[in-house]
Structure 1
Amino acid sequence: MDNFTHSLVGWALGQTGLKRKTRKGLAALVLGANAPDIDVFFGWVPWAPLAIHRGVTHSLVVGVWVMPVLTAGFLWLLDRWQVGRGGAFKSGLEVRFGWLLALAFLGCLTHPLLDWQTSYAVQLLSPFSNTWFHNDSLFIIDVWIWSALSSGIWLSRRREKSVQANWRRPPMIALAAVLAYICGNGVLSQWVVDRSQVMEPHALHDVMVTSPPPVLFWKRDVIWRRDGVIYRGRYDPFQHFGMLDNWGEGRPDGMTDPLARKVLMETPELASFRRWSILPMAWVKREKCTMTVQYQDARFGERPGAGRLGTSATVPTSATGC
């Protein structure tokens, strides 16, 4: 999910009353909800689990147990520095490290769980496993979640400023509605997968992604691979409740070509693509002295060299005269 969504979740949790547990409580929730994305600054490091976005910092090991300690420790040190400079705090609250840690833990926990909902996937078991997990219940930017959480926070803040006793209720309702929305979308995505599996001969799959498009959360863009062929379809319950629309013969993924596999595995510049792609496609262009291999993940483009996040590599041949 985008960082605005992560921040809204942390803020909404704070407005349920959790921000009153300690000074900097709201900061612990919001920073914790964004902390796992610190990996975007470490793409250069040699350790693969940290170099890949949504890797180890998003896992249920480091992301949930290490990142909260770092977040709470940073806020504690910041508070000590402010106190040492004679800073005044409008909240009137004492700083409690135990609560800072607990709130940072809660914020950090929401991050991988939200990212898991998207087709971009997340390595929940890193560094012990590089398996990608995706629940396919949300598009990466969801305006309905934005609307629900923003409304709950705005109403809560308005009531809080006017000293109304029920200021905690709107964000609780908003968070409950978002949770129900995510669960409902997850059930729908799994239902689409289950229905697709009975559609012989195409939809028995090795890997399948059922991603909601922007705004139209009830629809699904369905992509799957079977025996080296990429198939695509769409699902709209208002068109055909029990089946996919617009699915055809498919396109070979090109990964059966030994050169495509060899270049992908041995070219350092392709390391990032190799780590995050779960539906790789390839196309090899052979010339006398060079061969160019174009790659794409089927989630982000219909053919190699087209769409978002594609990449390529050119390697020399051993032809005479080259």
Structure 2
Amino acid sequence: MDNLTHSLVGALIGQAGLKRKTGLAMPALIIGANLPDVDAACFFWLDGVEHLGFRRGITHGPIAWVLLPLLLAGLLYGFDRWQARRGKRPEARLPVNFKWLYALALLGCLTHPALDWLNVYGIRLLEPFSSRWFYGDTLFIIDVWLWALLGFATWFSLRREKRGGEWRRPARIAIAVGLAYIGVNAGITAQQERHGSLHAVIAFGEHIRIGNGFVLEGPVAAEVIANPVPFAFWKRELMFGRDGRWLQEKCWTYDDCFAEPLGEPICEFPDMVVGHTDNSQLDAFLFWSRAPFAERAPDGSVILRDARFYDPRARDRFSVALPDVECEPLANPSP
């Protein structure tokens, strides 16, 4: 998720009452909720799409969950002592307890991978013990409805606290509503993936049309992705693929749907990309990509893209060019 969402989650946990456990609790929660994103520093030394193979890995895994909060708690504790020695420590600040600082930094840090798992980008939750990617396919990476809920609840809780009212209850209610919202979205994704599995079989397998329905013959191994979209949280962008060929579902009505290929024109998936290569850009892309397919470049070469992020306005951010590989058109590009 985006860093505003991470920050609001940390702040809301504090407003639920935990900020009264120790001095500097809110910085521990808010900074802790963003701490795994220190891997964004990789943009300073990695080129092109190499960052795709580095992000959401080692700093989002179990070792980082323990060590990053420990580092943050030590820095905050040292900062408090440094202010006290200089006579600059605010009088209103609660006494700082290192154990509580660490516990809150750890809690904030754990919310980060939990939220990152919810979108289609993916996260390597077990790094460095395993490089497997996990996908929740539940929320769009920037969810404005979650922003509105968390932002309003944080503001309302702070306002009540300033006026001497009950300020913990609004935060706790907002956390419960936020969890329910995530649960509803998970249910929508599950329902849409079941719907998409039927269309994947229709698109990739043998079928016989009978009236408005289908009689299907034989299972088809195809991956189905229900991709959340911006703003309309109740909708999903359904796509399904197999062997480097990805189709996107288009519907005129709920019962009148068809699948069209992603990429135009598309190519056979190049054999040279399988296994180890000496191209660091290609290696990083293939390690990260969940739905790769090959598209013909204007010069007849190949561009590898990912179906999850096939957007004409930003697709170069998630693609790698293979100028020395010739595009071989699919024998049967239509579903």
- Band the TM-score falls in, shorter-chain normalisation: 0.7 to 0.9
Work out which of the residue numbers 232, 240, 245 in structure 2 matches 1:216: 232
> Could you say which structure has the greater relative contact order, defined with CA pairs below 8 angstroms and 6 or more residues apart?
2
CA pair 210-63 structure 1, distance change in 2 beyond 3 A: farther
Counterpart-to-counterpart distance in 2, 1:259 and 1:171: 53
* Equivalent residue letter for 2:57: G
Counterpart-to-counterpart distance in 2, 1:75 and 1:235: 53
Q: Indicate the larger mover: 123-132 or 50-59.
A: 50-59
Counterpart-to-counterpart distance in 1, 2:126 and 2:116: 14
Secondary structure at 2:87's aligned position in 1?
coil
Counterpart-to-counterpart distance in 2, 1:137 and 1:150: 20
Partner of 1:320: none
The Cα offsets for residues 20-61 of structure 1, whole Å up to 9 and x where unpaired, read as: 11111000000010000000113538xx999611111112x1
CA pair 267-30 structure 1, distance change in 2 beyond 3 A: same
2:274 counterpart of 1:274 = no
- Correspondence 1:138-157 to 2 at 5 A: 138-157=139-158
CA pair 316-55 structure 1, distance change in 2 beyond 3 A: same
Partner of 1:137: 138
Counterpart-to-counterpart distance in 1, 2:198 and 2:296: 34
Counterpart-to-counterpart distance in 1, 2:183 and 2:91: 38
Contact 1:260 1:293 in 2 (8 A): no
Secondary structure at 1:184's aligned position in 2?
helix
2:29 counterpart of 1:29 = yes
Q: Indicate the larger mover: 250-259 or 274-283.
A: 250-259
2:189 counterpart of 1:180 = no
Secondary structure at 1:281's aligned position in 2?
strand
Q: Indicate the larger mover: 200-209 or 6-15.
A: 200-209
Secondary structure at 1:13's aligned position in 2?
helix
CA pair 181-205 structure 1, distance change in 2 beyond 3 A: farther
CA pair 136-313 structure 1, distance change in 2 beyond 3 A: same
Secondary structure at 1:201's aligned position in 2?
helix
Counterpart-to-counterpart distance in 2, 1:250 and 1:270: 20
Fraction of identical pairs, as percent: 39
CA pair 256-92 structure 1, distance change in 2 beyond 3 A: closer
Q: Indicate the larger mover: 206-215 or 3-12.
A: 206-215
The size of the alignment, in residue pairs, is 304
Work out which of the residue numbers 299, 302, 316 in structure 2 matches 1:293: 302
2:171 counterpart of 1:190 = no
The Cα offsets for residues 241-272 of structure 1, whole Å up to 9 and x where unpaired, read as: xx68442466797463223447x832023333
Q: State TM-score, norm by structure 1.
A: 0.84
CA pair 286-178 structure 1, distance change in 2 beyond 3 A: closer
2:89 counterpart of 1:88 = yes
- Correspondence 1:196-275 to 2 at 5 A: 196-199=196-199, 200-202=201-203, 204-233=220-249, 239-240=253-254, 245-248=257-260, 254=267, 256-261=269-274, 265-275=277-287
Q: State TM-score, norm by structure 2.
A: 0.81
* Equivalent residue letter for 2:19: K
* Equivalent residue letter for 2:167: W
* Equivalent residue letter for 2:193: V
Return the offset for 1:311.
2.4
Return the offset for 1:235.
7.5
Secondary structure at 2:293's aligned position in 1?
strand
Secondary structure at 2:308's aligned position in 1?
coil
Counterpart-to-counterpart distance in 2, 1:316 and 1:175: 51
Return the offset for 1:195.
2.7
CA pair 160-306 structure 1, distance change in 2 beyond 3 A: closer
Partner of 2:11: 11
Return the offset for 1:228.
3.2
Contact 1:49 1:56 in 2 (8 A): no
Contact 1:9 1:149 in 2 (8 A): yes
Return the offset for 1:178.
0.7
Extract unaligned runs of 5+ from structure 1.
318-322
